[in-house]
Amino acid sequence: MKNKQIKLVMLLLILCLLPNGCSKKEKVHRVGILCALDYISEIPDSFKKEMHKLGYIEGTNIIYDVKNTNYEPEKEKQILNKFVKEKVDLIFTFPTEVSMDAKNIAEGTGVPVLFTFANIEGTHLVENIRCPGGNITGCRYPGPDLAAKRFEILRELVPTAKRIWIPYQKGYPIVTSQLEVLYPLAEAAGITLIECPAANAEEIEADLQARETSGDPGIDSMLIIAEPLGVTAEAFAVFGKFAFEHKIPVGGALISAGGYDSIFGVNVNLQSAAKESALLADKILRGRPAGTLPVVSAESFFQLNYKAAQKIGIHPPEGLLSTADELIH
């Protein structure tokens, strides 16, 4: 009789525990984030906030492994390999070059890659916008268009400029596509583009030093394109100082470093990019193949530093002021 009662109690306990035991435990997603550019280092936080809005609570159902580099290709590859080895649920990378590395490293491993702030033109990052293919998707950075837009705005701000100096990271893949856009525009406008490929700030400094010593800098304005070197504080401090000393307007990407400011920036809205990326990440984590999710385009964002412009005697026209998404004054 006692045995029967014990068996009955045990059966009831098993029945009570069974639903819990059988219920699917909520998966804790692991996302590897690699930010390879200090300039856009606010993206991870914005991304996390957007993910939080979508129900991903850090430490509860999602764990982020955030790595920051600043154009350090080897280290970045190591980090990406580590992510792949750890079989993270998603690799979220930015900007372009590291996204390309991520695509290559993760290819065939089943680890999806989500990029943002990456230029897809000329990089073969995706097959096409509507169907990226592979196991990758992301938020597109309209590099050539933004380069052209930066050029147009710079011209509008400094209509007299005939020589535009363009510093960039030597060998950075998306530079070429931008230059390919800029050269025809410059030519049409009778403007000379002066390239300054450099490996680091010192090389930029050396270039500018050489111009200094020659007596004529030979530069009417400076244009920062989408690449990692021009937006580093070290590099900008070098050419920002030079520009300020020679009353040369600097624009393209909004940046302040060493007490010097650029006068405008046309970029994608980082928060918007983070939001779009979070929406895509949500779909991927829910099981949608990344390669089937169309690439979204981040909206461009025009910031005008009216104050900095005035410092160097530039008065932005009313039309530009009207179209600026953010006016700093």
Partner 1 sequence: MNKNKNKKFRSLTFSVAVAFLSLSATVLIIANTLQIYFNICTQRDLIAGRQKLIAQEAADTVKGYILEKSEFLKTAVKVGKLINTDKSEQKLVMEKILGFNQAFRQVVLLNSKQQQILRQSRLSNLLSGQLTEQIKKRGEEILPEVLQGKTYISPVYFDSITSEPLIIMGVPVKDSLGNFQMIVLSEINLKFMWDIVNPIKAGENGRAYVVDSQGALIAFGDIGRVLKRENLLHLKEVAKFVSDSCAYNEGKIKMSKGIMDTCVATTHAHLGTPNWAVMVETPIYEAYAPILSSLNLAAITMFSCFGFSIVASHYLSKRITRPIIHLRDAAEKIGQGQMNTKIEHESFDEIGQLAEGFNQMVEDLQKTTVSRDALIKEVHERKNAEQSLEQTAEKLEQANQELKNFVYIASHDLREPLRKITAFGQLLEKSLGNKLEGDDAENLKFMVDGADRMSQMINGLLTYSRVNTQSQPFQTVDLNKTVKELQKFELSVVLEEKNAWIEIPSPLPCIEGDPVHIRQLIQNLIANGIKYQKKDSVPEITISSKPAADNMVRIEVSDNGIGIVPEYQNAIFTMFKRLHTRSEYEGTGIGLSVCKRIVERHGGHIGVESIPGKGSTFWFTVPRAKELIIAEIS
Task: State yes or no: residue 185 binds partner 1 (CB under 8 A).
Answer: yes
Other Cβ atoms within 10 Å of 326 Cβ, number: 13
| 248-287 binders of partner 1 (CB under 8 A) | 279-280, 283
Structural tokens at position 5: 């009662």
Instruction: Give the C-alpha separation, 280 to 220, whole Å.
Output: 42
Element (H, E) at 264: strand 264-268
Contact between 7 and partner 1 by CB under 8 A: the answer reads no
| Tokens at 92, concatenated | 């979220």
Please choose, out of 1-9, 37-45, 222-230, 291-299, the segment that lies near partner 1 by the rule CB under 8 A: 291-299
**CB nearer to partner 1: pick between 98 and 181:** 181
Per the listing, tokens 């350090």 go with 72
Of 72, 107, 145, 234, the one binding partner 1 (CB under 8 A) is 145
Minimum CB separation from partner 1 for residue 83, in Å?
24
Calpha distance 141→296 (Å, rounded): 9
Determine the Cα–Cα distance for residues 294 and 130; give it in Å rounded to an integer: 4
Question: In the set 57, 108, 323, 329, which binds partner 1 (CB under 8 A)?
Answer: 323
* 296 part of the interface to partner 1, by CB under 8 A: yes
Cβ atoms 280, 138 nearer than 8 A: yes
Q: To the nearest whole angstrom, how small is the minimum distance from the Cβ of residue 25 to partner 1?
A: 23
Question: In this chain, which stretch among 1-9, 54-62, 254-262, 318-326 interacts with partner 1, using CB under 8 A?
Answer: 318-326
- Supply the minimum distance, in Å, between the C-beta of residue 293 and partner 1: 5
Q: According to the binding rule CB under 8 A, does residue 187 interact with partner 1?
A: no
Q: How far apart are CA 55 and CA 278, in angstroms?
A: 11
In the three-class reduction of DSSP (H, G, I as helix; E, B as strand; rest coil), residue 176 is classed as: helix
| Binding segment (CB under 8 A) for partner 1, from list 24-32, 158-166, 229-237, 316-324 | 316-324
DSSP structure class, residue 261: E
Asked if 53 is part of the footprint of partner 1 (rule: CB under 8 A), the reply reads no
Site for partner 1 in 73-92 (CB under 8 A): none
Structural contact between residues 84 and 30, judged by C-beta atoms closer than 8 angstroms: no
Site string for partner 1, 148-167 (x = CB under 8 A): xx-xx---------------
Residue type at position 79: I
Q: Does 202 bind partner 1 (CB under 8 A)?
A: no
Q: How far is CA 96 from CA 34, 122, 127, 174, 318, in A?
A: 11, 11, 15, 8, 34
| Among residues 29, 48, 140, 211, the one that binds partner 1 under rule CB under 8 A | 140
The token duo for 141 is 């950075």
Asked if 41 interacts with partner 1 (CB under 8 A), we say no
260 vs 302 by CB, closer to partner 1: 302
* Amino acid occupying residue 7: K
Nearer to partner 1 by Cβ, of 10 and 321: the residue is 321
Using CB under 8 A as the binding rule, whether residue 299 contacts partner 1 is answered as yes
Q: Which two tokens stand for residue 210?
A: 């050489």
The Cα 305–Cα 302 span in angstroms is 10
Residues that bind partner 1 (CB under 8 A): 129-131, 140, 142, 144-149, 151-152, 181, 185, 279-280, 283, 293-297, 299-300, 302, 318-325
